[in-house]
Structure 1
């Protein structure tokens, strides 16, 4: 039973009960005058009933609209904007309260969503966000036939920085790396903190050679960072670059880039090495020294 009918039934019974009793009494009176009064009262009652329903419907229409808007909002429809019109009655107060709570909840949800997909220290995306974006870029590369390059980089001697200068210096190195990545990449490139002192770059429409050049630009920018108490050149990183056409799985791409990264570490750190292409011999396109 709807709220309108409940309110109407309550009003009708409470207000019209004396009138209904009078009509019932007159219906047993055979006097012509009584019959006329009976007709008049019956017509007035019916008219009052219709007017009551219409007015109640108008009064409660904003409440029904509010309920529909909230249902649509919960189902992922348009954002809740509240009821307008400057109402100062109970419905207006209720609408303002719901609007305030909905906006606050929405803001909290957005903050939590952002925190769930971003790294607080560097401001970059986190591994979960990166995986989602990389999957999208792999699908685009597969459709377009254009190359996609992925770069893994790991800060050199990061444990030594923490041990010698403290964790604040380590956090500063990570933050500085994030700033370098933001300032060195193209607007459509993707950067994320992969975990610990490791970062990942996703470079759409970028060949292996182009990806290597971008990685080298980032590597040299890191060398130029000055951050107390570290000297210039105190922050360096090793890079592994691989190219994919979109036919590989994510873990295969990361595996090839990771192999190149470890090869860069083994070769002396602070350098960029290309990963071998799928199906090629391990020596092909594998190693590039700093001066290449």
Structure 2
């Protein structure tokens, strides 16, 4: 802001002094018409108006004692200075309005980004929620993909015995332990209640092995809270997500595999391929 006022005023003084030293001519005075546009590039509306008025008064004053006798030329210069100063003021107003719009737009984008970020997060665990998981799937393009459905074993009993406060902390702890075992490129979040979903850039068998390790490590130590120690148990169902399938198809297959893992007593991982093989085996046994 100071530059928008100081630099034009210095230029005005320089031009007027140069005109006086040159002698009884006012040719340099016309250059003052360039000063207001210079101020418009940096200063506020008030500054530009002040610079324009100063330039006009300076040119008018010089015309009285350093005139070259050409009154018409002097008047023309004054008119040009006045017109350019008005235009410079209008340009400044337009520039400031554009800058204000840009600031407002940036603020709106920041708010929208924050709201979108908050809308994708689970309020309890801080992990992705269902909406966030689906949102991140848009950019999840890998040649091999697997969907994992996870469910906490006997979670209702934990709530019934220890209360919902402990249950909430239990969910937070399990979420943190699973997250710590996954990579940054993996998608993981709370699907709802005590169910979680993970999407891995891996084939079904590899994803099964990954979650076998996840279960082994995440359940290694009990959950401790307010003097209570509660063993951590959860099960997982894994299904490949082929390019010809929708996410919902793969999720349904993973859910079916999870149901089988729970039926087997929990604390285990079953993949959909094994479930299909088991189904085929049962069919053959009945034939």
Q: Give TM-score, length-normalised by structure 2.
A: 0.65
In the alignment, structure 1 segments of 5+ residues that lack a partner are: 1-6, 12-36, 74-79, 81-100, 287-292
CA–CA separation in structure 2 for the residues paired with 1:66 and 1:185: 49
Determine the structure 2 residue equivalent to 1:222.
Answer: 218
Note the 1:256-271 alignment, pairs <5 A.
256-271=253-268
- Compute the displacement of 1:104 (Å): 5.8
1:173 aligned residue: 170
1:223-238 maps to which residues of 2 (within 5 A)? 223=219, 224-228=221-225, 230-233=228-231, 235-238=232-235
- The aligned counterpart of 1:15 is none
1:81-230 equivalent positions in 2, closer than 5 A: 106-137=109-140, 140-141=141-142, 146-204=143-201, 206-223=202-219, 224-228=221-225, 230=228
Contact 2:238 2:270 (8 Å CA) reproduced: yes
What's the offset of the Cα at 1:69?
4.1
Q: Which one has a larger percent helix, Structure 1 or Structure 2?
A: 2
The number of residues matched between the two structures is: 216
CA contact (8 A) 2:241 2:247 kept: no
Runs of 4+ in 1 over 4 A off after TM superposition: 42-46, 101-107
Kindly name which structure, 1 or 2, has the bigger radius of gyration based on alpha carbons.
2
Deviation of 1:120 (Å): 2.2
Q: Deviations over 1:86-118 (max 9, x none)?
A: xxxxxxxxxxxxxxx777655443332211111
When structure 1 is superposed on structure 2, of 123-132 and 219-228 the one drifting more is 219-228
Cα deviation, 1:29-69, whole Å, max 9, x if unaligned, reads xxxxxxxx9x94x6655433321221233344343223334
Are 1:53 and 2:78 matched, yes or no?
no
Aligned equivalents of 2:278, 2:136: Cα separation in 1: 29
CA distance in 2, matches of 1:169, 1:161: 8
Give 1:4's aligned residue. Answer: none
Q: Secondary structure at the match of 1:245?
A: coil
Tell me the distance in 2 between the aligned counterparts of 1:70 and 1:177. Answer: 47
In structure 2, stretches of 5+ residues that fail to align are 1-44, 50-68, 283-287
Q: Distance in 2 between matches of 1:282 and 1:242?
A: 15
Aligned-residue CA RMSD in angstroms?
3.2
